[in-house]
Each structure stands twice: as C-alpha cells, then as structure tokens.
Amino acid sequence: MSSIADFLNKNGKNWENSLIDFVKIPSISCQTEHMDDCLRAADWLQDYFRKIGFTPKLYPLSTGHPIVYAESPKIADAPTLLIYGHYDVQPVDPLNLWTECSPFEPVIKEGIMYGRGTSDDKGPLFSHIAAAEFWMLQGDLRPKLNVKFLLEGDEEGSNSATEIFVRENADLLACDYLALSDSTQFAPGFPSITSGLRGIAAYELILRGPIQDLHSGMFGGAITNPCNALVEILGKIHDENYRIAIPGFYDEITRLTQEDQEQLRILPFDENSFYDSVGVSCGLGEKDISVLEQISTRPTFDINGITGGYQGEGGKTIIPAWASAKFSFRLVPNQDPDELTVSLKRWLEEQLPPGITMELIIEGLSAGMLVDLSRPCMKAAAKSMEFGFGRSPVFVREGGSIPIVSTFSSALTPNVMMLAYTQKTDNAHGPNEHFSLSDFTRGIKSNVKLWQELAVL
C-alpha cells in the first residue's frame, strides 16, 4: 500500500470530483422546498459509504432530514472512533453577491473550490470519508479501529432532534473517541484544534403594560411604560465595570491558568485590526481583560434584538402596550445555563416596576465546554495535524457555540477532537463560500494519521 501522500498525488483528483458532486446537491435544511435535496444528499452519502465498504443506514427524524449513520466492518477489541459532520448547508441569499460561481455549480480556481457548503461542512466532512476510503483500501493491514459516522442534516436549522437522537442512541453511537471538523483555524498558517466552546443561554423577555397603546399626553406620567421598563431593567444587567449583575453569574467561573494564558499569547492577534475589520475604533469589555481573552474565554450579555411601540416614519406619541427584547448570554465552562435561567428570572422579577407583567421565553440553552488537553487522544490529534499541515497546531478556545458538542461530551465520550481545517475567511454562510484544496488534502492527511495514532494509543 502506498503512503497517503502518494495516493493523493495519484487519486486526489477523484476526491475533488466527488466533493464537487456532493456540493452540487442544494441541501438547504431550513427551506422546505429543498427537503428532497436533503434526502438526495443523504442518499449520496449512503451510496458512497456502501462503495468504500462501510454499512450505512438512514434514521428518519421528525425534521424530515435523516441521520446518515455508517460503520466499518467490526474488529473485536479495537477502539471505536465516531466522526460527526453535517450534510446540510445555509441558504444562498443574496445571490447577486456570488461572483465566483453559482452556489450549487462549484468551480475550482487557483486551488480554491467555490460553492455553498464547500467549507461548511461538506468539504471538511468529506475529508474524513476520504480517509475512511484510504483506510479501507489497506484491507487487513489497516490500523485496528472501529469507525462510525454520524452525519446530520439539521445543523444549520434547529438540531434539537439530533441531540435527542444522540441521547436515545448512546448504544449505537458508543465510542472511545469522537472527531469532527466544523470549526475554523485561528489564522492562515495556524492549524488549530478547538479546545473549548462557549455555551449559550438565549431568551426573549416580553413586558406588558396597558391593554392597548395609550396617548402619552393623557396618560404619560402615571402609567408605567413597558418600553421604559425594558430599558431600565436591561440597562442594569451590566454594572459599571461591565460585569453582569445577575447574582451568582461569575461564581463557578475560574480565571485562566498559566498554560491557558500561554496559549493565548502565542496566537497572532492585533486588537486594532480586529476593531478595524468591523468598522469601529474601539470596544468595551470587562476591565483588564484582553480582547482575545474576552471573545473566547469570558461570558457575555448581548441584546440581539429589541422591539416595541411605534417604529415607522416620524413620531407617534404613545405609551406602547408592550415591549420585548431577545438577548443571549455566552457562557464559559462551569456555568450552568439552567441555574442561570432560575437566577435571571428571579432577578428580572425583582426589577419589575408596578403595572408591568413579564414573560420570559427560553430560546435555547447549552453549556460551554472545555477539552482536557492532557488526554492522550489530544496529543495524538496534535501529532496528526502536525503530520498533515507540517506545523504543530495551536489549541484555541472559540467564542461561538456548537451545542451538540456538549451533548457528545456528556452522553458519549469526553475525548472530543475538534480538528479545524477551514479558515475564518472562507465565507461560511456568506456568498462565494470556498475551501482551499490545500486545506482539504492537509485535512485528509491529518485524518489518516489520526486513525493510525488512535489504533495504537
């Protein structure tokens, strides 16, 4: 059997063509007119698994987008690796900004493949399938592993059905290790292993006052205005040091260790460029905490949307009947979103002025997570990426949230390896989404190496 490098030289073009076929399927999960396309994408995966010698099976979900499950021929006494990915993609609007190609007619230009889903997540996902194909071709000589794939079609919509599936099928999905590639490299030239994610607690708060909008001349001064109440309450969530005033909010949070600080220090990050990139001259955060620490390792409170009263042209002097805000906290490891919900609700009720009633709707809760970098599999993952990328990876805590990873970690295994192959600049979710074929082949090589490492761990 040749090395993966030789094999890529000879057969890499086939994998590129297969990925193009996969990207051509417009599997947009949140648009019902693409329901059949999502099924086609699931079928395409099933066929590919069958071709390389895996046993695939579709598990229908209530969303209409089935889980694609596949497993390799069983090997007794070998460890099990589960690989997660998603075959659904984001919508493509605005179409007029797709200047490199039509979203589902992928093209390759100067080593870059353009098309919706190339980087999120069809490309990275397929790098694991390619590794599986190469591995199977080695027959009995292949590293001794049991490999399972769990590929969902609801990641870009609400994937709570997938979370339930995972919890209810812990036996089917039982594994020693879990790998996924759905996060990004810190910067070009910095292959990355995502070592932590922030959790999220998202809510909508609705305040109600009078039964209808009132004339502010006839009633103003005596009737509590729900818009006023909303700003007066939410305005108190940040204290004067820009810390969150909900009692107990910081109780379980630990400051970064020396090692964590060290990891942050080696990352290339310029605060001024960061601000420039979004058109502001400066920002606002907790005192004495660097921007990079702030956006990846500290919790936040952000109002995502606010609405109430008259929002048309000109003015209308009313006391609105209601006002509402959608807001979310990004959480860091050890913060329990359920406990936060309880203390938030109690705190909000205490702030409520007379004449106003409140409703708090939970939009989503998921805990943050942190990978224990001392686990042997993390060293194996680092070694594999060093093989694939020619440079040892950095461990990076991401500020975003991948709720299902917490589920994996609690329901399946704590040995979660988030191998980041794409770039932040790949325009995931945006027009001209793309994926570098160099990152694609480096990913395949990393995966091949990882399987060797895990087999002998």
Residue 347 interacts with a copy of itself (CB under 8 A): yes or no: no
Host H or E run for residue 274: helix 271-277
How many C-beta atoms surround the C-beta of residue 137 within 10 A?
Answer: 15
Q: Shortest gap between Cβ of 226 and a copy of itself (angstroms)?
A: 9
Residue 217 interacts with a copy of itself (CB under 8 A): yes or no: yes
The rounded distance, in Å, linking the Cα atoms of 295 and 285 is 9
Backbone angles phi, psi at 14, to 5 degrees: -60, -40
Q: Shortest gap between Cβ of 293 and a copy of itself (angstroms)?
A: 9
Q: Shortest gap between Cβ of 309 and a copy of itself (angstroms)?
A: 3
Site map (CB under 8 A) of a copy of itself, residues 235-264, x = contact: xx-x--------------------------
Stretch that binds a copy of itself, among 4-12, 85-93, 168-176, 229-237 (CB under 8 A): 229-237
Residue 294 interacts with a copy of itself (CB under 8 A): yes or no: yes
Q: Shortest gap between Cβ of 312 and a copy of itself (angstroms)?
A: 8
Host H or E run for residue 179: strand 177-180
Q: Which is nearer to a copy of itself, 109 or 429 (CB)?
A: 429
Q: Shortest gap between Cβ of 209 and a copy of itself (angstroms)?
A: 6
The rounded distance, in Å, linking the Cα atoms of 328 and 257 is 27
Residue 270 interacts with a copy of itself (CB under 8 A): yes or no: no
Q: Which is nearer to a copy of itself, 106 or 299 (CB)?
A: 299
Stretch that binds a copy of itself, among 61-69, 295-303, 340-348, 403-411 (CB under 8 A): 295-303
Q: Shortest gap between Cβ of 252 and a copy of itself (angstroms)?
A: 18
Enter the tokens of residue 250.
């910081």
* Among 341, 425, 417, CA closest to 382: 417
Q: Which is nearer to a copy of itself, 189 or 283 (CB)?
A: 283
> Considering only residues 139, 305, 350, 456, which one is a binding residue for a copy of itself as defined by CB under 8 A?
305
The rounded distance, in Å, linking the Cα atoms of 18 and 98 is 22
Stretch that binds a copy of itself, among 67-75, 106-114, 201-209, 433-441 (CB under 8 A): 201-209
Q: Which is nearer to a copy of itself, 216 or 343 (CB)?
A: 216
Stretch that binds a copy of itself, among 101-109, 118-126, 301-309, 370-378 (CB under 8 A): 301-309
Q: Contacts with a copy of itself in 272-291 (CB under 8 A)? A: 274-275, 278-286, 291
DSSP, collapsed to helix, strand or coil, labels residue 368 as coil
* Among 45, 68, 57, 82, CA closest to 154: 68
Helix axes 337-351, 226-234, angle to 10 degrees: 130
Residue 311 interacts with a copy of itself (CB under 8 A): yes or no: yes
The rounded distance, in Å, linking the Cα atoms of 108 and 251 is 51
The rounded distance, in Å, linking the Cα atoms of 365 and 285 is 23
Give residue 356's Cα distance to chain centre: 37
The DSSP letter of residue 286 is S
Q: Which is nearer to a copy of itself, 139 or 354 (CB)?
A: 354
Enter the tokens of residue 119.
């980087």
Enter the tokens of residue 381.
């993952």
> Considering only residues 216, 263, 432, 452, which one is a binding residue for a copy of itself as defined by CB under 8 A?
216
Residues recorded for the chain: 457
Taking a C-beta distance cutoff of 8 angstroms, is the pair 356, 208 a contact?
yes
Q: Which is nearer to a copy of itself, 137 or 244 (CB)?
A: 244
Size of interface with a copy of itself, in residues (CB under 8 A):
79
